[in-house]
Structure 1
Amino acid sequence: MTFGPLSRPAPRVALPGAEAGEAAARAPRLGNGALSGGLALLTAVIVALDVLSGADLQLTPLLVVAPALVAAFGTVAQTVLVASWVTGVAVVTRLAIGGIPWDVISSLVFTVFAGLLSVGACALRVGHATEIARLRSAAVALQRQILRPLPIPTDQITAHGTYTPIEEDRLVGGDIYEVVQSPHGTRVIIGDVQGKGLPAIGAGFAVLGAFREAAIREPSLVGLVDCLEDAVARQNAFSAQTGETERFVTALVLGFDGDGRVRAVNCGHLPPRLVHGGVAVPVPLRRTSVPLGMAELSSEGRTAERLDFPPGATLLMFTDGVTEARDAEGHFYPLDSRLSRWARRPPRELLDALECDLEEFSGGVRRDDIAVLALRRVTAAPAPSEPTGPEAMRRPAEVGSGR
């Protein structure tokens, strides 16, 4: 069963817009210099063999493979030039060798027809690549509206993170996250929508929208979570009307105030890990409630509890795509023991090590979306000390002289 959007800021694809995608699709993959040299060499070899074989064996038509190859990797303009070159070489060679006019005409018709096919195939390929680039650019824009790029700094913390969807060709999935600076401190959420990939986006987007609005409005963390519960309930009611699947969302919501206190409301999510002093340990959460969207099944209300988050520590929040990753023998990923190896690294290096190790452990096989947040307190700059001694005695005079 899967529950709980991020980036490496992912995924990891960063196209600035549709124009860049189209330019990338149209950019030639074959250099003009390499193309000219290869074409000249191929032409010389085939023409030489054709001349040596005489009029009985025609080898020049074999040059039609050149525009066909260019059509697969080059631009339309390159394909047209190569097809024109091959057609000209075929005509000149036939006339030079001699033969009946029908041979020349048939060779010309065959070469022109093959060249036109190559140009048409290249045009279709480039058009398809351009359309894919446009769609991918739109997906990137959508992802940036759903999942903000990391890191995200606030007055209390800096949130680093990584996000890997289960489908490599998708940029968003069922895992969500957000960090909001509010008048009540910093509010952080990480969640996992029931299901995987694109079908889970609807419920995830409903939670994110409600979180961004309620994190600023609601003074209490429990009130914020109640707003998220209502958002999932409304989304499920809409899904029932449209015949879609109703979903629940596991979530861990944290609140950081200006006094260094951290409070948490856990809605069926995995407990975070505290990385501090060279070790990584699970943070015990004793008041775990039901996931968002399932409050009607529980008679107990949600409550917030205090967390320890000492200065210099890293608080790691993640979804079950991490803990449920498996190796070739079916063993689950040993998160706690692996984290202890990198416990003294800064958040960004720790996340990089975790991501690489997960990829190696699972052999690149993904069974769920993966989202990880690494939170670190903002270190306050020391306040400037008051001058003492002769410097303090001179200070009034300096201020007075400036009037």
Structure 2
Amino acid sequence: MPRIRRKRPAHVLEAIEPPGNPDMIVGVVSVTILVELLGVLSGSAVWLLGLLVFLPGTASALCTVRQTRFVSGWTTLVVTLTVLLRGGDSGQWLDRALLVLLTLALGMTSVYACHRRIKREHEMLRLRSTAAAMQRHILHPLPVVTEDILVNGVYEPVQEDRLVGGDIYDVVASPWGTRVLIGDVQGKGLAAVGAAFAVIGAFREAAHREPTLTALVDILDAAVVRHNSYAEQTGDDERFVTALVICVDGGAEAQVVNCGHIQPRLVHDGVVTTPPLDSGIPLGLGELAAEPATVDWFAFPAGSTLLLSTDGLTETRAADGTFYPVDERLTSHLGLSPTELPQALYEDARAFTDNDDQHDDVAVLTVRRSPHR
């Protein structure tokens, strides 16, 4: 999966793990004994049996079909035996018979509901498995290691039941060095995902073919323009994409073209700096640029680390509207390895908001130059 960690305890579409048969039996028998004791103490055992009809419904939400059948049969049997053994006024037999019939009907309904639930869970798991397989072909799993660099990071779409969002990244080991892309599609929704696919596909193909970053960026820009032309025909909104395209080879410097994206941070010898880079026009808006894209160079010595991110990190806000202080928090996490750093910053940013609401896709990457370079 394209991130170090996938923390989804509450919202992942996964099948519910049913309880073991011994635990289920102990629980059902315990509830039955409790209801019978309450009935004896209160003198209204038959009507307290109405509490047992909730057992099959609970089982249908937590247990397997076979377990739900057992709970439904057990509940029906206990209610029936209690009605027969307790006896009572003849005028109450109709009410007692209705209680048995209601218990039987709810038990059958619970078994059917359990069957539908499990069928739906299995369908969603199959869909998620298919989506995960597709994602592995769209976004490379991290970490990625080449002769030049180690790339690691965190990727979290804002809609966490979706595996791919509007933030993108890719790493290609080309004949001219390792090329790294990180980008952010304007807007959200399926149209943003479509533009993301267009950029990733173009980058993955052209990074092996184009010897210069400027030519590569021109192709990415053309891919977004083509995507927008198709979007216009179908009535979708046009998009632009901010992006950083970086090339690291065997030299002591790195090349970069900034297409309106957030500046990278360079960590070297315990010092955080921001390389002075020109900020160009986002992809898809190249025709508006007065001048063509240019390549910047900055020092990237051996053992140093680049931090790349999207605005899902930098525009994280606290409850009082304060933006997440990336440089300050990055400095406080310099003791972490490049592998641990993206996860730590992501979790720190989530804690900074004082809530679990994520309002934008988040991508945080570290690019570590190989020590032998």
Structure 1 length-normalised TM = 0.84
Letter in 2 for 1:63: L
1:276 corresponds in structure 2 to: 268
Change (3 A) 1:58 1:230: closer
> Aligned partners of 2:117 and 2:2: how far apart in 1?
30
1:373 corresponds in structure 2 to: 365
> Aligned partners of 1:362 and 1:49: how far apart in 2?
48
Give runs of aligned pairs for residues 13-52 of structure 1, distance below 5 A.
25=15, 27-28=17-18, 30-50=19-39
Give runs of aligned pairs for residues 226-245 of structure 1, distance below 5 A.
226-245=218-237
Letter in 2 for 1:294: L
Q: Which moved more, 1:45-54 or 1:33-42?
A: 45-54
Shift in Å at residue 51 of structure 1? 5.7
Q: Is the 8 A contact 1:191 1:252 kept in 2?
A: yes
Shift in Å at residue 326 of structure 1? 0.6
Shift in Å at residue 229 of structure 1? 1.2
Shift in Å at residue 335 of structure 1? 0.9
Among 146, 150, 157, which residue is 2:138 paired with?
Answer: 146
Shift in Å at residue 61 of structure 1? 4.0
**Structure 1 position 129 matched with structure 2 position 113:** no
> Aligned partners of 1:151 and 1:53: how far apart in 2?
65
Give runs of aligned pairs for residues 262-301 of structure 1, distance below 5 A.
262-286=254-278, 288-301=279-292
1:204 corresponds in structure 2 to: 196
1:91 corresponds in structure 2 to: 80
> Aligned partners of 2:41 and 2:351: how far apart in 1?
57
Which digits, 9 at most, give the CA deviation of each residue in 1:236-291, with x for residues without a partner? 111111111111111110111233431111111111100112121111103x3211
Shift in Å at residue 222 of structure 1? 1.1
1:160 corresponds in structure 2 to: 152
Letter in 2 for 1:64: V
> Aligned partners of 1:331 and 1:26: how far apart in 2?
39
Change (3 A) 1:297 1:10: farther
Q: Is the 8 A contact 2:156 2:362 kept in 1?
A: yes
**Structure 1 position 112 matched with structure 2 position 104:** yes
1:304 corresponds in structure 2 to: 295
Paired residue total:
367
> Aligned partners of 2:233 and 2:296: how far apart in 1?
37
Which digits, 9 at most, give the CA deviation of each residue in 1:49-81, with x for residues without a partner? 546777995433432121122122212211110
Q: Residue 351 of structure 1 aligns to a residue in which SS?
A: helix
Among 337, 340, 357, which residue is 1:349 paired with?
Answer: 340
2:67 corresponds in structure 1 to: 78
Unaligned runs of 5+ in 1: 1-5, 14-20, 382-403
Structure 2 length-normalised TM = 0.90
Change (3 A) 1:177 1:88: same
Among 316, 324, 328, which residue is 1:337 paired with?
Answer: 328
> Aligned partners of 2:123 and 2:223: how far apart in 1?
35
Change (3 A) 1:70 1:117: same
Shift in Å at residue 92 of structure 1? 2.1
The percentage of counterpart residues that share the same residue type is 48
Q: Is the 8 A contact 1:11 1:165 kept in 2?
A: no
Q: Is the 8 A contact 2:68 2:110 kept in 1?
A: yes
Change (3 A) 1:56 1:369: closer
Q: Is the 8 A contact 2:46 2:82 kept in 1?
A: no
Q: Residue 340 of structure 2 aligns to a residue in which SS?
A: helix
Q: Which moved more, 1:51-60 or 1:363-372?
A: 51-60
Shift in Å at residue 133 of structure 1? 2.1
Q: Is the 8 A contact 1:222 1:303 kept in 2?
A: yes
Q: Is the 8 A contact 1:172 1:197 kept in 2?
A: no
Give runs of aligned pairs for residues 218-233 of structure 1, distance below 5 A.
218-233=210-225
Change (3 A) 1:97 1:342: closer
Change (3 A) 1:226 1:41: same
Letter in 2 for 1:233: V
Change (3 A) 1:274 1:51: closer
Among 292, 302, 318, which residue is 1:327 paired with?
Answer: 318
Q: Residue 158 of structure 1 aligns to a residue in which SS?
A: strand
Which digits, 9 at most, give the CA deviation of each residue in 1:35-56, with x for residues without a partner? 2112112222333454677799
Give the number of the structure whose alpha-carbon radius of gyration is greater: 1
**Structure 1 position 69 matched with structure 2 position 61:** no
Which digits, 9 at most, give the CA deviation of each residue in 1:334-361, with x for residues without a partner? 1111111122432022222211210111
Among 178, 181, 189, which residue is 2:170 paired with?
Answer: 178
Q: Residue 118 of structure 1 aligns to a residue in which SS?
A: helix
